[in-house]
Structure 1
Amino acid sequence: MSVNDVGGRRRFEDSEYTLHIYPGSIAEGTIYCPITARKTSTAAEVIDSLINKLQLEKTKCYVLAEVKEFGGEEWILNPTDCPVQRMMLWPRMALENRTSGEDYRFLLREKNLDGSIHYGSLQSWLRVTEERRRMVERGFLPQPQQKDYDDLCGLPDLNEKTLLENLRNRFKQEKIYTYVGSILIVINPFKFLPIYNPKYVKMYDNHQLGKLEPHIYAVADVAYHAMLQRRKNQCIVISGESGSGKTQSTNFLIHHLTALSQKGFASGVEQIILGAGPVLEGLWDIQIDCIDDGI
């Protein structure tokens, strides 16, 4: 596989498509609402766009239904289903003639108060469900999204494949932190995530490791309170490949520790410690070079 292959595939995944969603009586006067979506856009994301575009009541619950031929059986999409991927399975005539009266289409439906949805006859719904199961097994539809584990020790099947798949699924949801017991795995997102503000500092203050979503603040908090309670020095080891984000992780640790020690008051202690970081890293690099040279 070449770099061009990967780049081409990424461009294909990022391509935008137009979905024609028919709201029916939910938005009277609107025949269909065009929604721009990508191949990886979920039904939940498309519904959010519809709610904003049609100015629907946000207190109500909506679902997307796929219809094979106008007036035919309705196939309710799960929140994690991808409508664009479903649309790409339609016949070419349906894709080229999406505004005609006999094509496949997506409908916007509202759930009843009891959470039920009118599917037509039970036998029709069972037949559609069985057809979906067969299509999933044959690879024509994406596999249902599995639960991700914030602690790899909780995986029911522990092997390299399940470990990597769990980390990949969490990374796609911008969950870059995952526990392995008391060890924290961090995946560099190569962008800033809004999970380092004072709200998170307060959230992880004096909490047992594992009670909340994995976070580097949780590790810093455990070390800080263990130091106060046991009156013993604590050590946090940060390791990883070059560019993995060790320096940034150190900065987040120091930020949380100084925030806890200063109780929210501004102080120059954090900047002093952070300023010493590059010097310490430089001394470490010199030490490594000396060891390599046999000095």
Structure 2
Amino acid sequence: MSVKDGEGGAPSQDGRAYDLQVYPRLSADCPSCCTLKVPKEATAASVIQDAALALGLDPQRLYVLAEVKECGGEEWVLESGDLPVQRVLLWPRKAQEQHPQSEGFYFLLQERNRDGTIHYVHLPALWKEQEAQKLAARGFLPPRHDDFDDLCNLPALNESSILDNLRNRFHKKKIYTYAGSILIAINPFKFLSIYNPKYVKMYENHQLGKLEPHIFAIADVAYYAMLRKRVNQCIVISGESGSGKTQSTNFLIHCLTALSQKGYASGVERTILGAGPVLEVRLFVFV
């Protein structure tokens, strides 16, 4: 993939168009490269669409664009909203202006399977478990999942897939699942040993989604956002009767108290916990 001023195509906000060379890895009879003129603000999704049109590919199939930097052993699949031109502008000058694949900086167009994995026609032995794990660790091959800890990552997002995913996780005693920044909790109606102080420490000051979904992660994000931004934070707990709202409230208070006082219980905590069942707290604002 190379970048230079284009004479045609869609202009960027800076008045420039860029020539992008995309190398497909799809089949033996597919052209080795296609050149597109795109603005700087072009997303990976639009580049994929234009490349598929230019190459005459089946529009019903799914494709991904991967950035390859061989010098660092990096191969990364771009998200649909990523900007390929801006990535190229971070490459070495020689790679920006003119480079074949032998230069080690380029983009690949690959086919995505319906389950989210990538179909590699050039690596017939890829699905050996060890090789697949290596590529997944490098970010090029999406890891195979029996379940997803964030519903937004489901390959197909519909009521059936959501319920199946929640059911699979529940059977594995994973009662928490993210939907973006929202935490979904399924009441197990029994005690699980995932609320002791070591879990408070584990989730302390971590970005949401980096670790397995947990109610302590929500409390931690709210607590540190309050300290960082000096703005009141709000946690809303909602659900049907018997879904576990009161118990979730107790877990939140325990976690927030541990974070603020480094594990020492206080009279304030005991007062709030004692009043919770009476008041049926649904909304907390922490100052």
Relative to the length of structure 2, the TM-score reads: 0.47
Structure-1-length-normalised TM-score: 0.46
- Structure having the larger proportion of residues in helix: 1
More strand by share: 2
Which structure has the larger Rg over C-alpha atoms? Answer: 1
